A and B are shown apart, each in its own frame.
Chain A
Amino acid sequence: MDINAPNDKDQPLQDSAQPSIDKKSMSKKSNKKLYLIAGAATIGILLIALMGYFAYGYYNPPTTENNTVEQSSNAQTVTEIINPTVDAAASTLLGGSISESSITSTDDSSIINDNSTLVENVGDSIDENSF
């Protein structure tokens, strides 16, 4: 028996092992593609998200009111300080209008009375009872 002769039993084994290797190779290739697709998709999504973020920032520029909690807290302090000044400013103008009223509320009736007294003096210049 030739030991180098092909073993009938081994031959099928060899035939059946070859397809198994191809399947693995194919699977690896498939996974690689999937990974590539997934990676590209992820990057795409990230890019889109990034663009969206910048686009939002471009069309909605940040305002000073929406800055930080720290700034808001500071604004609250400013408001607390300013509000009394607002009241003082309003009081200044209101006080001015009231003081104006006292300046403008003149009484000129004394002139009318004075005119009357002057003509009365004319009439009193003659006392007929002394004749």
Chain B
Amino acid sequence: MKTVSNKVIIASIISSALLALSTLPVAAISDNASDNSQSGSGTGSSATCTRISSLKNTNESGVAAKITTMQNNFTSNKLKLTENTAEVNQKLATARAAIKSQFEEKIQTMLSQTGLTDAQAQAINTYKIDMDQAEIVRETAVDAARNEYQLALINMVQSQQQNLINAANSYQTTVQAAFNTANTNCSDNNSMSTLRSAVKTARQTLTTARETTQTMTTARQQTTTRNAAIKAANEAFAESVATYSATLTAALETTI
């Protein structure tokens, strides 16, 4: 009785094990079927959802990083603009001081000439006063032209940067919305193509917004205006120099 009982138990265990093994593939199929019913398109949809989710995380953080870099460099560029101006101002001041010194040396050379009459000395002094005044007029005109250009350029760059920031933010928002939509609809067969299309459109919009043609044209106009004003000031100065030099030469000759 005892022996039979043991055999029955063993047989039952084996049978149970065999039954369990035989039902595993069915369960697997059942699980797979369940997953497929959730995604709507079988194994491919699941992969697409995973892919979209991954793309969303990667690209959204990538865009955010690029926007941060852009804004930091915008700040650097504005600072660079100010630094460039300061550098030019410094060079200009040094150049002007050197020229003034050289000019005054020439005047002293004239005044220290042996045998110079009072009238000749007076003519030289008058020449110096006139030339100094002409130089002041020229420098004032040049500085005014530069300041006007500088203000216009700073305003232009600030405006451009703000427009670009707005465009980049808009791009980021559009892309985020596209990824969210794709993520939600990842089970749809066309979710990826819709995402691609949305991202492409967002980039094209950004490209259009970043067009620099108008800004560059305005910048060039400002540069041309500045250079023309400086050129006019220099030409007027050259005329004054010629006039005063001729006057001095004539004054020196009339003493003969």
Closest chain B CB from A89 CB (angstroms): 4
* Contact mask for chain B residues 212-256; partner A; CB cutoff 8 A; 1 contact, 0 none: 100110011001001100110010011001101100110011111
Q: Does B25 contact A (CB under 8 A)?
A: no
A107 to B219, CA, bound (A): 9
**A119, B99: Cβ atoms under 8 Å?**
no
A86 to B249, CA, bound (A): 8
B interface, size bucket: 35 or more
State which residues 47-72 of A face B: CB under 8 Å: 63-65, 71-72
- Given A104-B92, A122-B168, is A89 in contact with B106 using a C-beta cutoff of 8 Å? yes
Q: Does A85 contact B (CB under 8 A)?
A: yes
**A128, B223: Cβ atoms under 8 Å?**
no
**A97, B237: Cβ atoms under 8 Å?**
yes
State which residues 88-139 of B face A: CB under 8 Å: 88, 91-92, 95-96, 98-99, 102-103, 106-107, 109-110, 113-120, 124, 127, 131, 135, 138
The residues of B that contact A112 with a CB separation of less than 8 Å are 156-157, 160, 212, 215-216, 219
**A115, B161: Cβ atoms under 8 Å?**
yes
A121 to B124, CA, bound (A): 63
A interface, size bucket: 35 or more
**B106, A92: Cβ atoms under 8 Å?**
yes
State which residues 27-66 of B face A: CB under 8 Å: 51, 55, 59, 62-63, 65-66
**B77, A111: Cβ atoms under 8 Å?**
yes
- Given A75-B120, A77-B115, A79-B256, is A131 in contact with B63 using a C-beta cutoff of 8 Å? no
A4 to B166, CA, bound (A): 165
Closest chain B CB from A60 CB (angstroms): 16
- Given A77-B115, A129-B196, is A83 in contact with B252 using a C-beta cutoff of 8 Å? yes
Closest chain B CB from A27 CB (angstroms): 61
**A65, B167: Cβ atoms under 8 Å?**
no
**B230, A101: Cβ atoms under 8 Å?**
yes
A124 to B67, CA, bound (A): 11
The residues of B that contact A63 with a CB separation of less than 8 Å are 119
The residues of B that contact A104 with a CB separation of less than 8 Å are 88, 92, 142, 146, 226, 230
**B106, A88: Cβ atoms under 8 Å?**
yes
- Given A100-B142, A125-B59, is A72 in contact with B256 using a C-beta cutoff of 8 Å? yes
Closest chain A CB from B256 CB (angstroms): 5
A96 contact from B80, B96, B164, Cβ within 8 A: B96
Q: Does A6 contact B (CB under 8 A)?
A: no
Q: Does A16 contact B (CB under 8 A)?
A: no
A99 to B156, CA, bound (A): 28
**B212, A86: Cβ atoms under 8 Å?**
no
Q: Does B173 contact A (CB under 8 A)?
A: no
A116 contact from B203, B212, B226, B253, Cβ within 8 A: B212
* Contact mask for chain A residues 103-122; partner B; CB cutoff 8 A; 1 contact, 0 none: 11111110111111011111
Q: Does B16 contact A (CB under 8 A)?
A: no
A78 contact from B66, B98, B115, Cβ within 8 A: B115
**A109, B219: Cβ atoms under 8 Å?**
yes
**A123, B207: Cβ atoms under 8 Å?**
yes
Closest chain B CB from A86 CB (angstroms): 5
A97 contact from B69, B138, B146, Cβ within 8 A: B138
* Selected A-B contacts with CB under 8 Å, 26 pairs: A64-B117, A65-B117, A65-B119, A74-B115, A78-B113, A78-B117, A78-B252, A79-B249, A79-B253, A82-B116, A85-B109, A85-B110, A86-B127, A93-B241, A96-B98, A101-B231, A108-B84, A109-B220, A118-B74, A119-B167, A119-B210, A122-B168, A122-B206, A126-B175, A131-B55, A131-B195
